């Protein structure tokens, strides 16, 4: 039985609770308690220049955290909340500067997972919650992933099964006249364009400080990950042991020691949900290197490719 009362006690005492969302597992703390928020950065080894996303249980509870909720934000909230969309809006003085890394804006969303919503309702306040893993490593999509990454750095882990979406939320900045996708994720560019009309996609390093997940090296396994064309030569005197992360096509040529196929049918939603767990399985094989197949650059494929590009060895 899931004990939300215990989780709320931990949060109100300034502790950390890992909980499932539809995207990945989050490491939650009271967003209005600066000492509790500082524990998130400490537990993850996360640099304080990387802002956090604040989670609430419904759109109305975003309003105290921001200066204004423009009509476009209302339309987006109606279309995609609860769900994997994070909006960046000008913050109110209620939000501690540590949450936003000193920025005058805050990232907010309403998650769709019933356990996340139940926790937020029971806590009756906003939770700052990045992914529940050590900074820069592969994101967690099961409670076991959280325990393996954070161990006793987290006070309580709520078990909610595998995450359905499997990649983080789309981060959309509404700070400019034209909305800007700072991080592709669970809501596609095409879906956003239906609500917003024009949406801008920035250059890779543009706006990195405004959103989590924008650093050039992120989501990385311990085993070096490459595009096949970037795989270096090995001078070990033996054939290197290489793993292959396939979007759809298993090469089946005996070249690879281990192959993980994200979706045999080429389904982008299935591939996104499987991405981080497959990376973790390959990473656990003790291989010399990993290579990956690029997904189609559309829909959730953009989010998959973004995570792999940032995870790849530079």
What's the pLDDT score for residue 35? Answer: 97
For the chain, give every residue range classified as CATH 3.40.50.11030: 225-311
| Encoded tokens for 159 | 């078990």
Looking at the chain, the domain(s) classified CATH 3.90.870.10 span 4-210
Task: Say if domain 225-311 classifies as CATH 3.40.50.11030.
Answer: yes
Question: How far, in Å, CA of 91 to CA of 299, rounded?
Answer: 30
Q: What pLDDT shows up at residue 219? A: 78
Contact 91, 37 (CB under 8 A): no
Closest CA to 242 of 287, 211, 285, 186: 287
What digits encode the pLDDT tens for the residues 188-242? 999 999 999 999 988 766 655 666 765 666 778 999 999 888 888 876 667 889 9
C-alpha to C-alpha distances, 108 to 82, 105, 189, 202, nearest whole angstrom: 11, 10, 18, 20
What is the CATH topology of the domain spanning 4-210? Answer: DHBP synthase (3.90.870)
H or E element at residue 289: strand 289-292
Per-residue pLDDT of the chain (314 residues; tens, 9 = 90+): 578 999 999 999 999 999 999 999 999 999 999 999 999 999 999 998 899 999 999 999 999 999 999 999 999 999 999 999 999 999 999 999 999 999 999 999 999 999 999 999 999 999 999 999 999 899 999 999 999 999 999 999 999 999 999 999 999 999 999 999 999 999 999 999 999 999 998 876 665 566 676 566 677 899 999 988 888 887 666 788 999 999 998 887 778 999 999 999 999 999 999 999 999 999 999 999 999 999 999 999 999 999 999 999 76
Is omega for the bond preceding 82 within 30 degrees of 0, making it cis? yes
CA 212 to CA 143: how far, in whole Å? 21
**Main-chain dihedrals φ then ψ at residue 84, nearest 5 degrees:** -85, 50
Alpha-carbon torsion (157, 159, 163, 164), positive or negative: negative
Count the Cβ atoms, other than its own, within 10 Å of residue 206: 12
pLDDT in tens, 287-306: 999 999 999 999 999 999 99
Residue 212 tokens read as 């989590």
pLDDT of amino acid 253: 73
Cα separation values, 102 from 16, 50, 96, Å: 22, 10, 8
Please report which residue ranges of the chain form alpha helices under DSSP H: 4-12, 34-44, 71-80, 114-123, 143-150, 189-196, 268-283, 301-311
């Amino acid at each position: 039985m899931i004990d939300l009362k215990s989780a709320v006690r931990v949060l109100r005492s300034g502790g950390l609770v890992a909980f499932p969302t539809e995207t990945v597992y989050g490491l939650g703390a009271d967003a209005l308690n600066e000492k509790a928020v500082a524990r998130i950065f400490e537990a993850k080894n996360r640099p304080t220049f990387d802002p956090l996303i604040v989670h609430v249980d419904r759109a109305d509870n975003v309003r105290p955290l921001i200066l204004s909720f423009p009509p476009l934000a209302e339309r987006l909230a109606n279309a995609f909340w609860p769900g994997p969309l994070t909006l960046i809006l000008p913050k109110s003085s209620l939000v501690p500067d540590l949450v936003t890394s000193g920025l005058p804006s805050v990232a907010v969303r309403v998650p769709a997972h019933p356990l996340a919503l139940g926790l937020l309702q029971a806590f009756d306040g906003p939770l700052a919650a990045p992914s529940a893993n050590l900074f820069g490593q592969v994101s967690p999509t099961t409670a076991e992933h959280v325990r393996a990454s954070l161990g006793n750095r987290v006070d309580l882990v709520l078990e909610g099964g595998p995450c359905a979406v499997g990649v983080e939320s789309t981060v959309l900045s509404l700070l400019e006249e034209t909305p800007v996708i700072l991080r592709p994720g669970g809501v596609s560019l095409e879906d956003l364009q239906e609500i917003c009309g024009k949406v801008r996609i920035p250059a890779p390093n543009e706006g990195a400080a405004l959103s989590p997940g924008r650093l050039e090296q992120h989501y990385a396994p311990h085993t070096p990950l490459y595009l096949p064309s970037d795989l270096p030569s090995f001078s070990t005197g033996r054939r290197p042991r290489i793993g292959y992360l396939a979007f759809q096509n298993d090469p089946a040529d005996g070249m690879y020691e281990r192959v993980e196929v994200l979706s045999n049918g080429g389904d982008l939603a299935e591939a996104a949900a499987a991405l981080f767990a497959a990376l973790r399985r390959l990473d656990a094989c003790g291989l010399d290197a990993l290579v990956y197949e690029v997904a189609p650059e559309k829909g959730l494929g953009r989010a998959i490719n973004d995570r792999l590009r940032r995870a790849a060895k530079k």
